[in-house]
Structure 1
């Protein structure tokens, strides 16, 4: 069993840092790198790419809305043209940084409210899929099963990689429990270990209302800003290894 373990990274700005990216890069196999809108900047991006290359990690763009104060988690009114341009701008910036270090961006993972905007409107999901495909048809879009982005990617010929968000609670409909609601974010390692084991063995997850939800995914995500993210990532890694799994960068799982 080969599976990707990825984390959102570079989500600081200037002298401010959100997470221990260096420690996470010793654990995970892929890094979703903030591209300067919801977080991140040119220096942070450069450092993350350089370190990821040295450690053999796959890298992907983690574009968000231009909302540093809200960490990209507030939905903003933007036109279709602006939405397309901001996604192209962010992915292109990371591609440039990666090229400087002889590394390559292999996937895209929408951040927070940007993903919400895309997945609430199939037409906008399609627009963004076309933008990504135009930048590099070999890019893979990270998705949650059942999202509008899945169908959009299929329409334009863009590959997808299904995610299991280990540190976020799910509803019975397969959506994420809204942040701010009790139990929405999971930071207890014992609970997380049980969730990951069930996912790996059964491809299911126990939802917040105690129903079993099918979870067909080949990549596990942990958010770097979740309290105790390094311990959570280590717990996931240990569980994968204990079950005989092999942690593998996402791009190597795509045929």
Structure 2
């Protein structure tokens, strides 16, 4: 049994930094790089790509809504399918170009924040994201949350899907993430999170806030780099997986 560990990195902007990218990249097997719309800029993208190249870590584009002030966590209403497709393609292309300067290659795409949240429940948004990925490079992996519109759109587009669960986020009974505005939405106890991840991977399921078991495929586990204590959480998760004889390896190596 094996699983990928992914982390969202490169989410600073200019002189402002978010999280400990250097430490997190040592723990992750795949990283999702902000592409300038919700966070990140060309210099940070290049720095992150170089770190990943040195570490031998896969990188992917992490496109979001154009919302630096809200960190891409606020829905942007009124966008057409074409506009969503364009903003996603633009961000993927930006990372591909910058990654080439580092001698690295983009392997996957994972939507960020509100773009992902809307895409999970809105078929038009999901189809636009999938269409952008297919147009830029149909061989890119599409990281999706199980049981969502993103899965349907990715399958219809013929994309290679990677199913993701979150180590540090709580789930509702309908398999959606608990809104960050609600108490208990983000988990912080490293030991508890680590054992939770082992159970998720072994059982291919998550447990909701009410105790309901929800079956879902688990290809990759996300650890948020901006969560307080993220490095400790990442270390605990990786150690727990290895102790449970679950190999940690990038999903891009499975092709």
* TM-score, normalised by the number of residues in structure 2: 0.96
Deviation at 1:109, TM superposition (A): 0.4
- Residues of 2 paired with 1:105 and 1:99: CA distance? 9
Deviation at 1:152, TM superposition (A): 0.8
Deviation at 1:120, TM superposition (A): 2.4
Alignment coverage as a number of residue pairs: 254
Gaps of 5+ in 2: none
Name the structure 1 match of 2:231. 230
Name the structure 2 match of 1:214. 215
Name the structure 2 match of 1:151. 152
Deviation at 1:129, TM superposition (A): 0.8
CA contact (8 A) 2:85 2:131 kept: no
- Residues of 2 paired with 1:200 and 1:146: CA distance? 17
Deviation at 1:98, TM superposition (A): 1.3
- Residues of 2 paired with 1:203 and 1:83: CA distance? 32
- Residues of 1 paired with 2:43 and 2:75: CA distance? 27
Question: For 2:156, what is the secondary structure of its paired residue?
Answer: helix
Name the structure 2 match of 1:74. 74
Name the structure 1 match of 2:43. 43
- Residues of 2 paired with 1:194 and 1:241: CA distance? 12
- Residues of 2 paired with 1:151 and 1:94: CA distance? 26
- Equivalent positions of 1:143-222 (< 5 A) are 143-222=144-223
Question: For 2:202, what is the secondary structure of its paired residue?
Answer: helix
**Where does structure 1 differ by over 6 angstroms across 4 or more consecutive aligned residues?**
none
Gaps of 5+ in 1: none
- Residues of 1 paired with 2:157 and 2:99: CA distance? 25
Deviation at 1:117, TM superposition (A): 2.5
Question: For 1:25, what is the secondary structure of its paired residue?
Answer: helix
Name the structure 2 match of 1:9. 9
- Residues of 1 paired with 2:6 and 2:143: CA distance? 11
Name the structure 2 match of 1:56. 56
Name the structure 1 match of 2:107. 106
- Residues of 1 paired with 2:203 and 2:119: CA distance? 29
- Residues of 1 paired with 2:237 and 2:31: CA distance? 15
